[in-house]
Amino acid sequence: MGTLDGRTVLVTGSTSGIGRAIALRLAAEGAYAIVSGRDADRGGAVVSAIREAGGRADFVAADLSTAEAAQGLAAATLELVGGRLDILVNNAGISPGTATLSLDVATYDRVMDLNVRGPVFLTQALLPSMLSRSQGVIINIGSWVAQVGFIGGALYSASKATLEQLTRGWASEFGGQGIRVNAIAPGVIISDPEGPEAEFRHKMVEDSPFGHAGSVADIANAAAYLAGDGAGYVHGTTLVVDGGVLATRPGPRLG
């Protein structure tokens, strides 16, 4: 028996990376997973992996850059799950790493559309299903850089800070109606331990308490906790999963 048996979940941006790991983990806990993203081949591979492990999953293609696309994904998801969605994971987003002086309007729009507009209107479209039962879980995937200055990533950091503030706002707005809303702020995470960026990412946090970057499984574990009944009294929080980087950054000397 899994902790999420009989429940349904939509994970956006789940064809790779953190989103894929979350979809696999929540499906392993018994949830019927709706995998979503832009790449049908990669999405199909995630669905196949879940089914081969004995779970249930389907894929819905979506590019959440417009409100209409978000509403379309919501409608398709509700049709597949019979009108009952229990868990929404707003994970889809982009990080172009564009410096402020070289930022153009198209890049600004793309970041804010995918990282903020998409989650807002997808959540809006799916909330009525949850509110009608006075039960539901929303998990927003933020970032540790929402809480620090990050050279070359000010816009991305701001978009994730917005998502974390939406988490607190939605928890206040809907918590009394049975909806739990929380966020996860991943630290430096490695999707592919053998990939070209793995060594660089480890070096980014080599002076942190754990001395190495995290894995997508670390974020999936956090999502499984927040999605389950064990987090029933956790509302409006951002769970930082960064190996202690933010908590142990050197502060000012006091003498």
Domain boundaries, the chain: 8-241
Would you say residue 161 has pLDDT above 60? yes
Cα 194 from Cα 138, distance rounded (Å): 32
Q: Tell me whether residue 36 is exposed, middle or buried, using C-beta atoms within 10 angstroms of its C-beta: 0 to 12, 13 to 18, 19 or more.
A: buried
Asked if 78 and 129 count as a contact pair (C-beta separation under 8 A), the reply is yes
The rounded mean pLDDT for the chain is 92
156 included as an active-site residue: yes
Average the pLDDT over each of 199-203, 234-238, 248-252 and give the range with the smallest value. 248-252
Cα 140 from Cα 30, distance rounded (Å): 21
Would you say residue 199 has pLDDT above 90? no
The one catalytic residue among 32, 108, 156, 233? 156
* 59: phi then psi, degrees, rounded to nearest 5: -115, 140
Q: E strand or H helix at 44, and its extent?
A: helix 40-52
Tell me the CA distances in angstroms from 147 to 48, 129, 154, 187, 229, one per residue in order: 37, 32, 11, 11, 28
Tell me the fold of 8-241: Rossmann fold (3.40.50)
- Residue-wise pLDDT tens digits, 8-55: 999 999 999 999 999 999 999 999 999 999 999 999 999 999 999 999
- Residue-wise pLDDT tens digits, 221-246: 999 999 999 999 999 999 999 988 88
- pTM beyond 0.85: the answer is yes
